[in-house]
Structure 1
Amino acid sequence: MSLRSAYTLFAPLYDAVVATATAPARQASVAALAAFAPATVLIAGIGTGLDIPALPLGPRYTAFDLTPAMLARARRRAGGRPELALQLETGDAQALAYADAQFDAVLLHLIVAVVPEPVRVLAETARVLRPGGRAFVFDKFLRPGQRAPLRRALSPLLGRLASRTDVVFEAVCPPALRVLDDRPALAGGWFRRIVVEKG
């Protein structure tokens, strides 16, 4: 099953499963974005638009998702924030359809560990960020050297259905991105909030 097919099936249930548990971490990440005060923001894998209610006014937002069923829900949620400068479109985080150095910030919530090739997501993020731009990441990551045999064993199956469980952030983050902040967010530190800056 492709990722798009899986999330087409998952779309009606996504908010019920994910929204409450992830809300505090999402809000903290968006608050860090707001403090950075970017003029242009790319939201990669916006899903059903759970971040839309917390987005600060001011920036011009470009947001995309691979799955039209998820994006349809994001469009409905965006209808409640007509004051936002928000453009929604279909896209793939592994192959961004944007120019080099186009954005001041990129928001990556629960997308890096979802895609088949997380290294491509972060390489593309680095490409579209301006020098000094920042990416705000919230996702599940193993620590370098962490054994986690069950998570690693389940990852091939879960990666086809919803999300990989074996991604080590430090192994997929390109040298162009420097970690500024890294803190536990959920599940005893399995989920982390990370801020990186393009040099």
Structure 2
Amino acid sequence: MVDAFVRAARADDAAAVARVQLATWRTAYAAVIPASVLDALDEDDVAAQWRSAIVEPPTPRHRLYVAYEGATTVGFAAIGPAAGEDLVGPGYESTAPTPVGEWDATALLVNTLLVEPRWGRRGHGSRLLAAVVDVARDEGFTRALTWALEADGATRSFLESTGWASDGVGRVLDMDGTEVAEIRLVTDLAPAD
């Protein structure tokens, strides 16, 4: 039996998280993210950014979780409260909207959920997502959202198979002069009765 698990990240996980991110982006997103962007990513710089996110998160509700198979880091998920700019469009109108630049108390943003492709289809994404949902519910989040590359059918299919759905909102990122489309996926975190 393979030992597979998810745990909260520690500062010494930053290098492995950077390795997973860069390997995944360079493998799974090479046709979407411009080569100039991928080539400019330095593993040490990315690791330093992840270390900072672990040690000095923007809020106490920002977290990073790592997935392991045996002693190998195979994936990770970065979560935190959604910002006002993530909560625009259908389904998010309210009498007290979250202002741009501020954190929402009830909406969780899954900033990133990646499993290195060579470790895919072994349950690591499901374990990460389950850990995220458990923590989110414990902290009082009632809904969750994420932004997925429109061209990333694998991530969308995975999330949709677990109850997430596009709410029709999209955005376009400028990646070194190339427009890259993302769509927003959402889910209700209310426990099933």
Q: Which has the higher helix share?
A: 1
TM-score (norm 2): 0.29
Q: Which of 1 and 2 has greater Rg?
A: 2
Q: Which has the higher strand share?
A: 2
